[in-house]
Amino acid sequence: MMRRLPLAAIVVVAAALSASAQSYYDGFNYPPGTTIGGWTEQRGDWTFDGAQALCQPTVTFQELTLDNITDLNGASECLALYDLGTPGLQYAGPVVRHSGSGATATYFMVKVQDNGSPYTGFDRFYVYYYNGASFSAAGITSVALAVPTTAARVRLQAADEGGVVHLNMYIDTDLDGLWDVTAEGTTTLGFGIPGRPGVTGYRNARLDEFKYFAGTLRATALPTIGTSLAFAGSGTPNQVFLCASSLGHAGIPLGGGAVVPLDLDPIFFFSLQTPAIFQNYSGVTAADGAFAPVLNIPNDPILVGLTLWTSGVTFDGFGYPNVFPDVQTTFL
């Protein structure tokens, strides 16, 4: 159970969160060229124009992975951009668990894709597992986007749970900060195989604003008033964790350009002080890294339609935090 924290302690926690975190952000703001330090071209010849990462124009599968990070449970996110100057079959999206190298590597990916004429933007998403030779469906059915888009924020999260890989996919198709398309599924493919985070692309698509989260967090049910909403989290085993909720997720700035994806608003502080509602929002992760916060939603109709965001961190023995992705919950 979370103990009550005095306001002074909460301010200290908030200040600590704004200092540093082991999530990663990259805006691809590198001098123009075809290679950048810290990233590996797994397939394709990527180009960087000072603001974005560009896929090789030729028709080939392409992946770009982040060096020095290998994990099992984590999330990758990026901004996928469609090149209207060269309309055609294009796709872009994040990669998790990229294991190996080149064309024989294994990985999970989600892509938003322009799937066919009239080629006006991304109009469908796919979630795949690549086994080193071919793509397989990864427990999430492909769905057409209601309105084609030339810019979408896309996130893919993977966590080993109970003998399967639990995948969560999120797409913000209009860049208003809310997930417009969400999907989840499970698969035995890739279970237990850690790998690197990264991005994938095809034929002139562009990518920007890459984010990596060193852990996972998801809601396990619909956020209905008068019920208890359990979250499932995974992080580093046997470490202190702290979660919070807020009305927004513009972010608490962190060292190195990363953020804790919450806001320092009244709900943020209320969630740290009210364990009767925000239950198990602090504690120690289990031997497998699991933790399970619970949001006890009051049975008040005025809450219907309210959106909260929930995230958290774990702290290692040196007090260094790993940041979890934010979870959007709109009360029903």
Q: Record the tokens describing residue 213, joined without a space.
A: 């989260």
Q: Record the tokens describing residue 14, joined without a space.
A: 């908030």
Q: Give pLDDT, residue 213.
A: 92
25 — phi, psi (to 5°)?
A: -130, 140
In 3D space, the residue among 316, 313, 225 whose CA is nearest the CA of residue 326 turns out to be: 313
Q: Give pLDDT, residue 252.
A: 77
276 — phi, psi (to 5°)?
A: -65, -30
In this structure, the number of other CB atoms found within 10 A of the CB of residue 106 comes to: 17
In this structure, the number of other CB atoms found within 10 A of the CB of residue 132 comes to: 12
Q: Give pLDDT, residue 170.
A: 97
Q: Give pLDDT, residue 256.
A: 54
pLDDT tens for each residue of the chain, 332 residues long? 333 444 333 433 444 443 334 478 899 999 998 888 899 999 988 999 999 999 888 777 899 999 999 989 999 999 999 998 888 889 999 999 999 999 999 999 999 999 888 888 999 999 999 999 999 999 999 999 999 999 999 999 999 998 999 999 999 999 999 999 999 999 999 999 999 999 999 988 999 999 999 899 999 999 999 999 999 999 888 988 999 999 999 887 755 555 789 999 999 999 999 999 999 999 999 999 899 999 999 999 999 999 999 998 887 655 556 789 999 999 99
In 3D space, the residue among 314, 326, 324, 332 whose CA is nearest the CA of residue 16 turns out to be: 314
Q: Give pLDDT, residue 255.
A: 57
Class of domain 7-21+217-330 as given by CATH: mainly beta
Q: How far apart are CA 195 and CA 95, in angstroms?
A: 10
Q: Give pLDDT, residue 314.
A: 82
Domain edges within the chain:
7-21+217-330, 24-213
- 217 touches 288 (CB < 8 A): no
Residue 19 CA to its chain's centroid (Å): 21
- CATH 2.60.120.560 assigned to domain 24-213? The reply is yes
pLDDT digits (tens, 9 = 90+) for 229-261: 999 999 888 988 999 999 999 887 755 555 789
In this structure, the number of other CB atoms found within 10 A of the CB of residue 332 comes to: 12
Bridge partners (DSSP) of residue 167 are 158, 185
Q: How far apart are CA 50 and CA 312, in angstroms?
A: 32
Beta-carbon contacts of 212 under 8 Å, excluding residues fewer than 6 positions away, are 23, 24, 25, 66, 69, 74, 75, 76, 77, 197
Q: Give pLDDT, residue 319.
A: 52
Q: Give pLDDT, residue 219.
A: 96
Q: What is the value of pTM for the model shown?
A: 0.90
- 112 touches 160 (CB < 8 A): no
Cis peptide before 94 (omega within 30 of 0): no
Q: Give pLDDT, residue 278.
A: 96
